[in-house]
Amino acid sequence: MVDVRAVLRAAATEVRETLSASSDQYTRASAVLPRGGSRSRFWWPMPIYAQSAQGAYVEDIDGRRYIDCNLGFGPMILGHAHPAVSDALEAQLRKSVLYGAACVQEAELAQMLVDNIPGAERAVFVNSGTEATMTAIRIARAATGRDAVAKFEGGWHGHQDFLFHSFASTQGEPSAAVAVPEMAGIPEAVSATVVVLPFNDEAAFERIRRERDRLACVIVEAVQGGAGSLPADREFLTALRAVCDECGVLLVLDEVITGFRLGPAGAAGLYEITPDLVTVGKVVGGGLPVGGVVGRGELIDRTASTPGGHPSVVAAGTFAGNPMTMVAGIAQLSTLLGDPESYSRLDAIGRRMREGISARLQELEITGWVTGLGSMWGLHFSPARPRSVRDLAHDNQEASRLLAAYLLLDGVLMSSPVHLGFLSTAHSDEDVDMVITAHGRALKRMKDEACV
């Protein structure tokens, strides 16, 4: 019987020896930063340390060059150092990075969001996706007078107390799922206000009906990025919208990952639904920190201050709506939306990637499943094709770590253990084919080692 731990140890040693400068930096950084940095938990056996990036490629401090399929966890949809974004940032840098006073670019970027996102009438900016989802559920509570919020198992909505439940863990039957805190420090009183629902499961609808009198909102990702790019069924989201209307519960669509990645109207447009509120981030900031909430005017206006007064919901921050982020976001979205071929191209290379990796799995007779939509994909070593995080309960996490390590050694940058890939307009067909080929080599090595 294969000793998987021995294979993992050997792979870890190989990575550390090959990336000696990153390994040394990891040791030094770990003296002052937990596990060597804020990005460390996404990489195995250690983070690599990047020093530059251009287009679809990243170079690390060892001088190794990688095809980047992480793209800053999604924001870099035009690739790295795109001239339009770089030029906008350089021009703003000469004026100031922060005013404190308002800047005209905030309204310009907000207008781009309102013009493209279904149901959007107004927007408010914050500094991150976590802040965006936190603000959205506050608005929902203020608007409905109810305290509880519902979220789906497997849904990642940032590390805020209320929504950091049942992301990787599940408990109870789907029809009566239990809210499981995913980190220490979340009060039990907070968990008591969280209703957890099964993803892609009609049992969620009856739970919403049962809890309707205390639910302010239901928040959902159309594609669960943190679960490895698991898409919702179209019929499921359509029915969810109808049930929320029936019960008088607000529907919040979390598009921090999918907003302006799956199309100009994001997942809302792709799935043809109109949420009450939409949270955005990542692509909208052009590579700089950003979060935002858009939606119906009377809901967003709850964040507006009156002269000498206070808003019913505070959406604020020293850097919220800062000029650097606003100009970067305008430049990125203008470039993306200004090219009529951009999304068809992203969809095409995303489909090429998913089909190519699936073909390698079949050729090698490895049980694995490629999921995703548009320019997103994930790879899962689970017994059956996953539709929810419950289907990943027996996912082979060791295989996922090995895959990411072997891809890294072969010049492809992917996170681990969650296999979540992104593509950009800078990726060519040849880049995609190289990534597919690298997957083939990594998977063959894993099969030869009897790890899959």
Q: Name the token pair of 149.
A: 């919020």
User: Where does a domain end: 318, 338, 358?
Assistant: 338
41 vs 141, which has greater pLDDT? 141
Continuous segment of H or E residues that includes residue 421: strand 420-422
Output the pLDDT for position 2.
78
Which structure tokens are listed for 321?
């709506």
Question: In terms of pLDDT, which residue wins out, 309 or 196?
Answer: 196
CB-CB neighbours of 126 under 10 Å = 26
**Global confidence as pTM:** 0.97
My answer on whether 180 and 254 are in the same domain is yes
- Spatial separation of the C-alpha atoms in residues 216 and 444, rounded to whole Å: 49
The yes-or-no verdict on residue 308 having pLDDT over 90 is no
* Strand pairing report for 148-152 and 122-126: unpaired
Q: What is the pLDDT of residues 191-200, one digit of tens each?
A: 999 999 999 9
Are 121 and 165 contained in the same domain? yes
Question: Please, which pLDDT band fits residue 1 given cuts at 50, 70 and 90?
Answer: low
What's the pLDDT at 160? Answer: 94
Across the strands, what pairs with 5? none
Q: Is the pLDDT assigned to residue 415 strictly greater than 70?
A: yes
Counting the structural domains of the chain, the total is 2
Q: What is the pLDDT of residues 323-361, one digit of tens each?
A: 999 999 999 999 999 999 999 999 999 999 999 999 999
Q: What is the pLDDT of residues 150-168, one digit of tens each?
A: 999 999 999 999 999 999 9
pLDDT in tens, 200-225: 999 999 999 999 999 999 999 999 99
Q: Are residues 346 and 334 in the same domain?
A: no
Domain with residue 66: its CATH number is 3.90.1150.10
What percent of the chain is modeled with pLDDT above 70? 99
- DSSP track, 175-227: GG----BSSTT--HHHHTTEEEE-TT-THHHHHHHHHTTTEEEEEE-SEETTT
Distance (Å, whole) CA 414 – CA 148: 36
Same domain, 115 and 208: yes
Three-state secondary structure of 261-309: CCCCCHHHHHHCCCCCEEEEEHHHHCCCCCEEEEECHHHHHHHCCCCCC
76 and 90 housed in the same domain: no
> Is residue 72 domain-shared with residue 207, that is, in the same domain?
no
Q: Which residue has the tokens 């994930």?
A: 378
Q: What is the pLDDT of residue 305?
A: 72
Q: Are residues 75 and 191 in the same domain?
A: no
Alpha-carbon distance of 143 to 141, in angstroms, equals 5
Q: Give the per-residue pLDDT at 310.
A: 66
Range of the domain at 151: 83-338
Burial 182-204 (b: 16+ CB within 10 A, else e): eeeebeeebbebbbbbbbbbeeb
Note the pLDDT tens digit of each residue in 417-430. Answer: 889 999 999 999 99
5-54: per-residue pLDDT in tens? Answer: 999 999 999 999 999 999 999 999 999 999 888 878 889 999 999 999 99
Task: Give pLDDT, residue 385.
Answer: 95
Domain boundary among 303, 323, 338: 338
Quick one: 113 and 212 in the same domain?
Answer: yes
Judgement on whether residues 260 and 128 belong to the same structural domain of the protein: yes
Question: What's the mean pLDDT in 59-76?
Answer: 98
**Residue 56 near residue 69, CB atoms below 8 Å:** no
Average pLDDT along the chain: 96
Distance between CA atoms of 287 and 364, rounded to whole angstroms?
Answer: 38
What is the spatial distance between Cα 213 and Cα 150, in angstroms, rounded to a whole number? 12
Task: Please say whether the beta carbons of 50 and 59 come within 8 A.
Answer: yes
Residues 220-247, mean pLDDT to the nearest whole number: 98
CATH number of the domain within which 330 lies: 3.40.640.10
CB 381 within 8 A of CB 395: yes
User: What is the per-residue pLDDT for 363?
Assistant: 98
CA–CA dist 76, 413 (Å, integer): 14
For the segment 105-116, the average pLDDT, to the nearest whole number, is 98
Last residue within a domain, chosen from 297, 319, 338: 338
DSSP 8-class letter at 143? H
Q: Which helix (H) or strand (E) holds 448?
A: helix 429-448
Lowest mean pLDDT among 272-276, 396-400, 409-413: 396-400
For 80-83, which contacts have Cβ atoms below 8 Å and span 24 or more sequence positions? 80/53, 80/54, 80/55, 80/56, 80/426, 81/53, 81/54, 81/55, 82/331, 82/332, 82/335, 82/426
Q: Are residues 73 and 133 in the same domain?
A: no
Task: Write down the pLDDT at residue 3.
Answer: 87
Lowest mean pLDDT of 34-38, 133-137, 263-267, name the range: 34-38
| Claim to verify: residue 324 and residue 203 sit in the same structural domain | yes
The verdict on 156 and 73 lying in the same domain is no
